[in-house]
């Protein structure tokens, strides 16, 4: 621990009682690892929708203003009254953000499991990853394969578990095929690989031909483009061919969700 700084920066999200969201970088003390703990120097972390939910909350990002300094910027935005009521449980709490991430273990407790990870590049899940350093128990991290980058390993939990849950939810609800919007996203590509391997028919909705090409390259069969003049006809045909009766809308409602329901 002697070679590590005493403090590290962490991105915090705070909703104030007067209806203001504040994002800031805060110095936090580096903890001393317990026997089974490791300290990760964070090198990469993704921004998932669940991260945005905590980071921004009900803040109106259109009102965002930057202040502070170049190395300690502060972002503030208004929180509408309705949003403030919805965020009641977290008002006044400065919260760390970032569900998952990856980096190098720079300190470890005395246990065999923790010591085995010292100097290794790992991925972890446990919140507060939008930080320079993050301490987790060794059981909460996974060593990355030789040659894997932190960027490649940073999304090992949220999207893969979400994609797997899509298929399991489908089966539990008695369906046999799926529809997915934002299908060429990182999550969408994972879902395609799972469905292809398991033989689950999947209708993929994209917005660009380049996105369709990404999916074709990994073996996707049913792809429809929402910007095509024949979108509704193509979508209905794909639904008829696959028998898909369950959809996951990654866009979050809007016209596309309505078109999907009509189809």
The full DSSP string for 99-112 is SEEEEEEEEE-SSH
Describe the chain by its helix, strand, coil percentages, rounded to 5: 35, 30, 35
Q: Is the pLDDT of residue 220 over 90?
A: yes
Say how far apart CA 52 and CA 75 lie, in whole Å. 14
Domain ranges in the chain with CATH number 3.40.50.720: 158-262
Q: What is the reported pLDDT for 73?
A: 96
Task: Compute CA distances 78 → 13, 61, 87, 260, whole Å.
Answer: 13, 8, 13, 34
As a whole-number percent, the residues of the chain with pLDDT over 90 amount to 85
Residues 115-141: tens digit of each pLDDT: 999 999 999 999 999 999 999 999 999
**Mean pLDDT on 12-38:** 96
Q: What is the reported pLDDT for 260?
A: 72
Work out the pLDDT band at 1, boundaries 50, 70, 90.
very low
Q: What is the reported pLDDT for 257?
A: 65
Q: What CATH code is assigned to 158-262? A: 3.40.50.720
Q: What is the reported pLDDT for 251?
A: 64
Residues 37-64: tens digit of each pLDDT: 999 999 999 998 889 999 998 999 999 9
Domain ranges in the chain with CATH number 3.90.180.10: 7-153
Q: Residue holding tokens 């705070």?
A: 14
Q: Is the pLDDT of residue 22 over 90?
A: yes
Mean pLDDT of the chain: 93
Say how far apart CA 167 and CA 235 lie, in whole Å. 20
CATH class of segment(s) 7-153? alpha beta
**Mean pLDDT on 205-214:** 93
The answer to whether the beta carbons of residues 177 and 244 sit under 8 Å apart is: yes
């Amino acid at each position: 621990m002697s070679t590590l700084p005493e403090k590290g920066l962490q991105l915090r999200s705070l909703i104030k009682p007067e209806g203001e969201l504040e994002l800031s970088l805060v110095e936090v003390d580096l903890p001393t690892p317990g026997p089974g703990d490791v300290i990760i120097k964070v090198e990469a972390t993704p921004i998932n929708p669940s991260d945005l939910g905590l980071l921004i909350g009900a803040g109106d990002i259109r009102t965002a203003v930057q202040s502070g300094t170049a190395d300690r910027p502060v972002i503030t935005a208004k929180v509408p009254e309705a949003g403030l009521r919805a965020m009641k449980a977290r008002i006044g709490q400065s919260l760390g953000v970032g569900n998952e991430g990856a980096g190098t273990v720079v300190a470890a407790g005395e246990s065999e499991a923790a010591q085995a990870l010292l100097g290794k590049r790992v991925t972890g899940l446990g919140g507060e990853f939008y930080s320079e350093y993050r301490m987790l128990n060794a059981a909460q991290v996974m060593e990355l394969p030789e040659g894997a980058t932190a960027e490649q390993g940073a999304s090992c939990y949220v999207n893969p578990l979400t994609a797997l849950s899509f298929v399991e939810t489908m089966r539990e609800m008695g369906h046999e095929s799926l529809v997915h919007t934002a299908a060429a996203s990182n999550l969408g590509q994972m879902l395609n690989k799972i469905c292809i391997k398991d033989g689950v028919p999947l209708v993929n909705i994209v917005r660009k031909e380049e996105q369709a090409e990404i999916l074709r390259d990994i073996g996707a069969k049913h792809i429809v483009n929402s910007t095509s003049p024949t979108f509704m006809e193509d979508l209905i045909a794909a639904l008829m061919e696959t028998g898909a009766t369950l959809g996951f809308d990654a866009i979050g409602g809007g016209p596309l969700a309505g078109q999907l329901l009509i189809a």
